Amino acid sequence: MSSLIATGWWHACAQSARSGMERSTMAARWWLLLLIGLAAAAAGVVRGQGGAPDTTGFINIDCGLPEKSRYVDDVTKLKFTSDEAFTDGAGTIHNVSADYATASTTTDRSLYTVRSFPDGARNCYTLPSVVPGSKYLVRARFMYGNYDGLSKPPAFDLYLGVNFWQTVTVPSADWLGIAEVIAVVPDDSVQVCLANTGAGTPFISGLDLRPLANSLYQQANATQGLVLVDRRNFGVGGNATAGGVRYPDDTYDRVWLPWSNPPAEWSDISTTEKVQNTIAGLFDVPSVVMQTAITTRNSSKPIQVSWDTHPNHDYPDPGMFFTFYVSELELLTGNAVRQFNISVNGIIWTKQPYKPVYLSTDSLYNAAPHRSYSRYNFSLYAAGNSTLPPILNAVEVFSVVSTGNVGTDAQDVSAITSIKARYQVKKGWAGDPCAPKNLAWNGISCSYGISTPPRITSLNMSYSGLSGDISSYFANLKEIKYLDLSNNNLTGSIPIVLSQLQFLTVLDLTGNQLNGSIPSALLKRSQDGGLTLWYGNNPNLCSNSSSCQLPQKKSNSMIAVYVAVPVVVIGAVAVLLLFLIKKNEAKGSVKPHILGSGLPSHSQNGSEHTSLQQLHNRQFTYKDLAVITNNFQRVLGRGGFGPVYDGFLKDGTHVAVKVRGESSDQGYTEFLSEAQTLTKIHHKNLVALIGYCKEGDYLALVYEHMSEGTLEDKLRGKGSNTRSLTWKQRLRIVLDSAQGLEYLHKACSPRFVHRDVKSSNILLNANFEAKVADFGLTKAFKCDNDTHVSTIRVVGTRGYLAPEYVTTYLVTEKIDIYSFGVVLLEVVTGQPHILKCPEPVSIIQWTQQRLSRGNIEDVVDTRMQGDHYDINGVWKVVDVALKCTAQDAKQRPTMTNVVSQLKECLELEENRFREDLSDTYVTGSSIDRNSSYSTYATELSQGSTTFEMEHNLRKMPKRDIGLPTLR
């Protein structure tokens, strides 16, 4: 979001909207004016009594300043320091080009140097000593100033800790930008991170932290932060010199900018009297800001101001907060009345005309974020009996961001941070190890609970040049499942504490200089099949009794272990060997790989050890599959062709392994080329084929795991989560599936006809997103279970087969459309595709028969009763389904058409849910001035004194306000 306040996207609209402004120059000009203004303010403006206010907890950083340098800022008298101590050594420092380091660009010298971060996906500043649970203002400042000589202003993302803050898009070299967020900080330090989004090297010029009173900005709480869009001080006319207000006038050092180029219709009024805050600690707008205001010259003309919202990739529909600060500045006499209303895009906002109070700051604001418009045009206009025009002293505009993501478990963070320090890891490990998910550290995978902190479950530090002992900090990663330390220069013995990692299933120590013996507890676990242990290529590691030497400086208590080990080692190797040979005998042709005997190798090409993480989209060996599935332990289900096993790749990716033990009549090369094609197909609504295995006639496919199982099971109420799907979930699922099929039909190269579309081939993930499974390999996986038709030419499932396909064997996209129509009917009715009532009847006939009685309710799944749904949407889906299942293939719609119809249905449903404009707008003046904050909170919820926005939308069920949803 370009809510940097100096980007120039706001518009002053006195009667007519301004347009065509040259952004960057305008922005630069304001800043210039501001900075001159600040200088003037510092020089001339009357300070609060007793000198400068408290600056305890202020952090003022001049990024890129050489280490240990510091200075006192001329304007604010605040002490600025180098950023070196806050960066963990990341990034490089630069001076901006001499062309920009001049007073004509900016007098703010902190902008003359920058720190840039050419390496790493994310780099962070850590601001220490914050009070957990307190509210802070965090402000980042930017001037590119062509510091790199490339004349290429970048764009990048900012994060506050693990939460996305905003995107910074630098328009020009002289652009002076501010990003500001108000948030509650959960920990005793807070990180500000810059993420490289591929649009240039992130950099930063300055960083400020300001503690706020917790009573300020009530809309900011533990889960919701406020990103500054605009903060204005009205009524300083064209004289911006007087307009810029910040510390010390603002005790929190907020920056109040003048409204540049105010329209001629506005007229300024001001007072020299102090303006009081209605309730101390609620808004705390500086008196000097409130002492100036605008009205209109002609009292029948409104004050018009407007702001655009600026959606970004994380907030396509940003929620907005507006606060208008108002105080009467004239002592009204006689019959003079100043009363006005505010409207938003023509809709009246204030319920009753509002009357400002003399010399008392009041505010009009919305208590819940507003999302209805992309541009908000406000009009302040005089009420009917008002003799004076409206008045406006100051404004703040924010957009809301979620701060609800939590960081990784503290113990994991502490362990991995120690590991990072111990081995001096240079992998761009910065910020939180697991969160946000897209920025998790290289080589780390995590589990993400719904309300619990992420945990590190996998750590790959192979080929990382590690030397020295294996740190016992690894044993503090309590939930780790996969630990790969292979191919480093690790020495010493294997720490026994590693055996306390109860979830560890893969430990790879191959290719190091380890010595001593393997802790017996680890060996025992590998023997029991609970742990896969690789330790080959450690010349000094004791793996048989004769070569075993006791390490020199071990305590007595360790000796027993080392003595006991050799016996166990031999036992374990023997058992493993036996196990593998047996297994492979049963499977036929696969050669065993002996664990622990050296580098695990992939038999196909004898290539060296490749970490499983790199094996996406590739060929697995039988042995890989044994590791992945933990020796084929857990069967997820059985497809037509054979069992499906649960498994994890080494990087923690959850997979499903489909195995067909018996021979297929398809040739090896043919299979490989088909499989390779399929691994290249990626669409969010197609189950991804991660890899495959073909050894002799042993055949297996490795798919992404879909935790919620098949649509069929969900409709039948089978499976773990038996809650019936809501209508909206059903619509999403069919829309997702339709999009997957559309992709196969249209976008895929080569094009695919699925040929076996059915509800059991539509899989759901944890978020109930649907993906189509089992496309493409119909030849390889042809089978003969009873409902499945598989002749030389017909592949598919009874009840889903298009009539012309059965008679002519002609494969066209229309046969998928037909089958998909059947799926749609299953989704609406909750019935199986062939009903037994008592004679078998197809779901198409069943639906038609019931519909002929004219009542749609008759066909709707009874499990959706009590759930609200839009009946028109249901009709529409049934209509689409019946068109899809038309006997004549030519009459069936295309998948693209189906997709667009289903989208409309989903929109119907979502509109039902869409939050209306019932947000409550509140004024502070209705509050008893003597009351404490807690009474204020009650007042808000009672609503007796609140303004309600008049709006004629029906009252709808409240939508959960979380992250905005994509439409």
Ligand X SMILES: *[C@@H]1O[C@H](CO)[C@@H](O)[C@H](O)[C@H]1NC(C)=O
Catalytic residue annotation: 756
Per CB under 6 A, the list member of 81, 197, 241, 946 interacting with ligand X is 241
- Find the shortest distance in angstroms from Cβ 222 to ligand X: 4
- Binding segment for ligand X among 197-205, 485-493, 686-694, 929-937 (CB under 6 A)? 485-493
**488 vs 759 by CB, closer to ligand X:** 488
**Closest to 473 in 3D by CA, of 463, 459, 487:** 459
> By C-beta, is 224 or 532 nearer to ligand X?
224
Judged by CB under 6 A, which stretch of 381-389, 427-435, 778-786, 900-908 contacts ligand X?
381-389
Is residue 937 classed exposed, middle or buried when 0-12, 13-18 and 19+ CB atoms within 10 A define those classes? exposed
Least CB distance to ligand X at residue 886 (A): 48
Of the residues 222, 410, 550, 564, which one makes contact with ligand X according to CB under 6 A? 222
Minimum CB distance to ligand X smaller for 672 or for 961: 961
Find the shortest distance in angstroms from Cβ 442 to ligand X.
Answer: 18
Q: Which of these segments, 150-158, 481-489, 649-657, 836-844, binds ligand X (CB under 6 A)?
A: 481-489
Q: How far is the CB of 160 from ligand X (least distance, A)?
A: 16
The contact mask relative to ligand X for 401-440 (x = CB under 6 A, - = no) is ----------------------------------------
Nearest-approach distance from CB 405 to ligand X, in angstroms: 13
Under rule CB under 6 A, residue 223 binds ligand X = yes
What gap in Å lies between CA 44 and CA 38, rounded to an integer? Answer: 10
Identified binder of ligand X from the candidate list 21, 26, 40, 101, rule CB under 6 A: 40
- Least separation in angstroms between residue 370's CB and ligand X is 12
Looking at beta carbons only, is 354 or 692 nearer to ligand X?
A: 354
CB of 118 to ligand X, least distance (A): 25
Cα separation of 645 and 629, whole Å?
6
Q: Is 387 in the site for ligand X (CB under 6 A)?
A: no
Of 486, 487, 584, 847, the one binding ligand X by CB under 6 A: 487
Q: Which of 16, 272, 333, 385 binds ligand X (CB under 6 A)?
A: 385
- Chain positions 316 to 345 lying near ligand X, rule: CB under 6 A, are 337, 339
- CA–CA separation, 480 vs 455, rounded Å? 8
Q: Does 221 bind ligand X (CB under 6 A)?
A: yes
Q: Is 540 in the site for ligand X (CB under 6 A)?
A: no
- At 742 the three-state DSSP class reads helix
885 closest CA partner among 841, 836, 823 = 823
Q: Evaluate whether 311 touches 399 at the Cβ level (below 8 Å).
A: no
The structure tokens listed for 731 are 């619509």
Other C-beta atoms closer than 10 Å to the C-beta of 894 total: 14
Whole-angstrom Cα distance, residue 381 to residue 319?
25
Of 298-306, 380-388, 700-708, 857-865, the segment contacting ligand X by CB under 6 A is 380-388
- DSSP code for 256: B
Does 261 bind ligand X (CB under 6 A)? Our answer is no
Q: Which of 13, 173, 183, 242 binds ligand X (CB under 6 A)?
A: 242
Q: How far is the CB of 343 from ligand X (least distance, A)?
A: 15
What is the total count of residues that contact ligand X (CB under 6 A)?
19
Strands, E, within 367-471: which ranges?
375-382, 394-402, 444-447, 455-460, 467-468
Determine the Cα–Cα distance for residues 115 and 61; give it in Å rounded to an integer.
11
CB of 314 to ligand X, least distance (A): 17
Nearer to ligand X, 340 or 846 (CB): 340
Figure out which of the listed residues 15, 129, 442, 489 binds ligand X, where binding follows CB under 6 A: 489
Nearest residue (CB) to ligand X, 242 versus 522: 242
What is the per-residue DSSP string for 455-472? EEEEEE-TTS--EESPPG
Q: Can you tell me the distance from the alpha carbon of 644 to that of 417, in angstroms, rounded to the nearest whole number?
A: 38
Q: Is 224 in the site for ligand X (CB under 6 A)?
A: yes
Among 353, 709, 873, 893, binds ligand X (CB under 6 A): 353
Which residues have C-beta within 8 Å of that of residue 207, sequence separation ≥ 6?
Answer: 59, 61, 63, 83, 86, 125, 127, 138, 139, 140, 141, 192
Candidates 203-211, 382-390, 554-562, 701-709; binding stretch for ligand X (CB under 6 A)? 382-390
CB neighbour class for 697 (10 Å; exposed up to 12, middle 13-18, buried from 19): middle
Choosing from 384, 606, 667, 750, the residue that interacts with ligand X (CB under 6 A) is 384
C-alpha span between 403 and 149 (Å, rounded) = 36
| Nearest CB to ligand X, comparing residues 423 and 622 | 423
876, containing H or E segment: helix 871-884
To the nearest 10°, report the CA torsion of 882, 887, 891, 897.
40
CA dihedral 677, 681, 687, 690 (to 10 degrees): 60
Burial code (b: 16+ CB inside 10 Å, e: under 16) for 83-110 equals bbebbbebbebbebbeebbeeebbbbbb
Range 438-467, binding ligand X (CB under 6 A):
465
Stretch that binds ligand X, among 84-92, 220-228, 519-527, 881-889 (CB under 6 A): 220-228
Q: Calculate the alpha carbon distances from 557 to 412, 519, 673 in Å.
A: 29, 13, 58
Cβ at position 537, least distance to ligand X in Å? 10
Contact region with ligand X (CB under 6 A), list: 28-36, 379-387, 778-786, 840-848: 379-387
Label residue 451 exposed, middle or buried (CB < 10 Å: 0-12, 13-18, 19+): exposed
* Among 15, 239, 500, 544, interactor with ligand X by CB under 6 A: 239
Nearest approach, Cβ of 220 to ligand X (angstroms)?
A: 8
362, 925 Cβ separation under 8 angstroms:
yes
| CA distances for 774 relative to 545, 551, 703, 799, angstroms | 50, 55, 10, 18
User: Read out DSSP for 500-557?
Assistant: G-TT--EEE--SSEEEEE--HHHHHHHHTTS-EEE--S-TEEE-SSTT----TT--HH
Q: Quick one: 244 or 519, whose CB is closer to ligand X?
A: 244
Binding residues for ligand X, per CB under 6 A? 40, 221-224, 239, 241-242, 337, 339, 353, 383-385, 465, 487-489, 961
